């Protein structure tokens, strides 16, 4: 902790100095990240910034400071200079449980959690770089854990028999941690780029629960190569990247060294046809296995055969893979978008067979943007996510989402999911309203989640009242005071039959306070 304290002290003093110039990154779960969704919709004359990949580092977009809609006067064009990033201070408090969605490396335990983010960004010619780490402290207070199952670590997820490194609580005492966060070093030459990065990347159109890649965990240390920004051709815009990274095990899965690291690779491709520019089609695929089993041919995952067990648990292998197809229909002129993503888990069934839905997951949603007055805008969003097993699992085996019988630590990084935050076997409905004007940000949201229906129907079918489900209402309000943005968050959650125990009902209140400085 001491080796980072001097760095952050110096950075904090510089950030408060009134003459500093700032760049930007889209920190996970920040107001700016949501603001940027408005930004790309409203500035309809800009070339499309993204198709299927939503990175967190601003220079990977086509944005300029001459945008028609930018009420916060956020600087998005860096003019080839090294610039400090705004310091972001966050304070969180959960009264009863650990609770947090899409917040990157941060883990909001019970009790108090505090974090600081900041750094610098810039580019010189074809070299681009960003250093935006996060340092956080978690009080990690005690709360009720699920009853221990079999040989599972008591702090780990108890409902999948050692098939996922999905931590309930990070030990029994307070702790602090450092992560490189939204950092990268990159070469970008015309339409091609190659980079070394730890940034969070979102694949696909989903806003709350992206199935394949999300902001739920720390970014994966990886090398990526592909298009620098969407390429404009006669038949439309194309975007493609290939990723090679390492997933790390938490301290709360098992004591063996077998699963300390997993090799992970991914492919994301987007296409927007010239004859229908409001439409974007996406394809995503990811692959992971024990690091010790890595072979050179694993680098060609985008060309490899799709594993298809066809429901036979005896025909398994030493790796797991996931894939999805997505559609996003975006009408900038009227401020409306609708989207759908259909995903397959471990490719446990043939699309042309009698049960193409086998091992599927999906997310469907829409957003409507309203112009109110001057630069004031309102966005309404609804999103439904389903990661439960379809009925075909009764006679055709497949793993729950993000879990695996062979690669037992699952689709996680450092004990947190890299996919949808609702977790394996879960179903969610999410409603959101966001209002933005030149000086403030207001967000109201509601989410209903039914957790791990796979486990419920496998083990609790005779206890029909034991569904583990939660309702959450939240409000966030931020306001600018000159160049500083101060934000508050209040959230109420009621969880019924937690851990599938009838009448084990818990109420949690969450409070948040953030302070950040922007260049305005």
Domain residue ranges of the chain, discontinuous segments joined by +: 2-517
pLDDT higher than threshold 70 for residue 285: yes
pLDDT at 153 over 60: yes
Tell me which of 56-60, 149-153, 357-361, 490-494 is least confident.
56-60
DSSP 3-state of 93:
strand
pLDDT beyond 50 at 218:
yes
Spatial distance between the Cα atoms of 286 and 224, rounded to a whole number of angstroms: 13
Please check the confidence at residue 10 and state whether its pLDDT lies above 70. no
Distance CA 152, CA 158 (A): 6
Higher pLDDT, 237 or 396: 237
Structural tokens at position 379: 């966005």
Label residue 338 by pLDDT band (50, 70, 90): very high
For 2-517, CATH number out of 2.40.160.130, 3.40.50.1360, 2.40.110.10, 1.10.357.10 equals 2.40.160.130
The confidence score (pLDDT) of residue 11 equals: 53
Mean pLDDT score, 336-364: 80
Rounded Cα distance between 288 and 98, Å, is 28
Question: Could you tell me the end-to-end alpha-carbon distance of the chain, in angstroms, rounded to an integer?
Answer: 32
| Per-residue model confidence (pLDDT) at position 38 | 86
pTM over 0.85: yes
Mean pLDDT of 173-186: 95
The residues with which 511 forms a beta bridge, in sequence order, are 93, 490
Query: Looking at residue 24, what is its pLDDT?
Result: 79
DSSP state of 60: G
Ranges of beta strands (E only) in 140-179 are 175-179
Pair of tokens at residue 165: 């490194």
Residue 319 has pLDDT above 90, yes or no: no
Distance CA 176, CA 76 (A): 32
pLDDT in tens, 58-99: 776 765 556 788 888 877 665 567 888 888 999 999 999 999
Q: How confident is the model at residue 381 (pLDDT cuts 50, 70, 90)?
A: very high
What's the pLDDT band for 317 if we cut at 50, 70, 90? low
DSSP state of 255: S
CA-CA distances (angstroms) from residue 140 to 92, 95, 211? 11, 11, 28
Q: Are 425 and 451 in contact (CB under 8 A)?
A: yes
Residue range 432-487, pLDDT digits in tens:
999 999 999 999 999 999 999 999 988 887 787 889 999 999 999 999 998 899 99
- pLDDT bracket for residue 255 (50, 70, 90): confident
Is the pLDDT higher at 428 or at 257?
428
């Amino acid at each position: 902790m001491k080796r980072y304290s001097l760095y952050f002290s110096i950075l904090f003093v510089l950030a408060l100095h009134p003459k500093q110039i700032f760049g930007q990154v889209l920190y996970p779960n920040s107001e700016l990240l949501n603001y940027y969704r408005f930004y790309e919709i409203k500035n309809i004359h800009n070339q499309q910034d993204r198709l299927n990949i939503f990175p967190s580092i601003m220079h990977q977009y086509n944005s300029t400071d001459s945008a028609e809609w930018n009420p916060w006067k956020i600087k998005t064009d860096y003019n080839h200079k090294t610039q400090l990033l705004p310091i972001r201070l966050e304070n969180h408090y959960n009264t009863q449980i650990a609770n947090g969605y899409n917040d990157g490396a941060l883990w909001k335990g019970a009790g108090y959690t505090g974090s600081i983010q900041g750094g610098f960004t810039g580019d010189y010619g074809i070299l681009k770089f960003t250093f935006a780490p996060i340092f956080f402290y978690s009080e990690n207070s005690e709360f009720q854990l699920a009853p221990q199952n079999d040989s599972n670590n008591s702090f780990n997820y108890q409902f999948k028999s050692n098939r996922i490194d999905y931590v309930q609580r990070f030990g029994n005492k307070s702790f602090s941690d450092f992560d490189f966060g939204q950092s990268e070093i990159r070469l970008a030459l015309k339409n091609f780029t190659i980079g070394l990065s730890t940034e969070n990347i979102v694949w696909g159109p989903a806003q709350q629960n992206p199935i394949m890649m999300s902001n739920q965990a720390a970014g994966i240390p990886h090398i990526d190569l592909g298009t620098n920004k969407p390429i404009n051709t006669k038949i439309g815009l194309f975007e493609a990247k290939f990723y090679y990274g390492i997933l790390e095990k938490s301290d709360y899965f098992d004591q063996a060294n077998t699963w300390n690291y997993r090799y992970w690779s991914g492919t994301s491709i987007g296409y927007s046809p010239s004859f229908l520019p409001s439409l974007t089609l996406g394809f995503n695929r990811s692959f992971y296995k024990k690091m010790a089993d890595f072979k050179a041919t694993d680098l060609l995952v985008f060309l490899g055969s799709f594993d298809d067990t066809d429901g036979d648990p005896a025909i398994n292998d030493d790796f797991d893979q996931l894939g999805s197809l997505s559609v996003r229909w975006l009408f900038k002129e009227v401020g409306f978008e609708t989207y759908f993503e259909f995903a397959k888990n471990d490719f446990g069934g043939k699309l042309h067979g009698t049960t193409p839905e086998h091992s599927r997951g999906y997310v469907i949603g829409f957003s409507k943007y309203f112009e109110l007055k001057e630069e004031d805008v309102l966005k309404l969003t609804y999103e439904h996510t389903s990661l439960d097993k379809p009925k075909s699992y009764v006679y055709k085996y497949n793993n729950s989402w993000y879990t695996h019988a062979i690669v037992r630590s699952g689709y996680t990084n450092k004990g947190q999911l890299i996919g949808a935050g609702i977790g394996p076997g879960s179903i969610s409905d999410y409603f959101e309203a966001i209002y933005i004007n030149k000086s403030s940000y207001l967000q109201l949201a509601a989410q209903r989640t039914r957790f791990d229906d796979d486990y419920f129907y496998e083990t609790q079918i005779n206890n029909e009242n034991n569904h583990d489900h939660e309702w959450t209402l939240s409000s966030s309000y931020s306001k600018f005071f000159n160049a500083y943005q101060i934000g508050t968050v209040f959230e109420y959650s009621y969880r019924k039959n937690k851990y599938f125990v009838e009448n084990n009902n818990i109420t949690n209140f969450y409070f948040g306070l953030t302070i950040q400085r922007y260049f305005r």
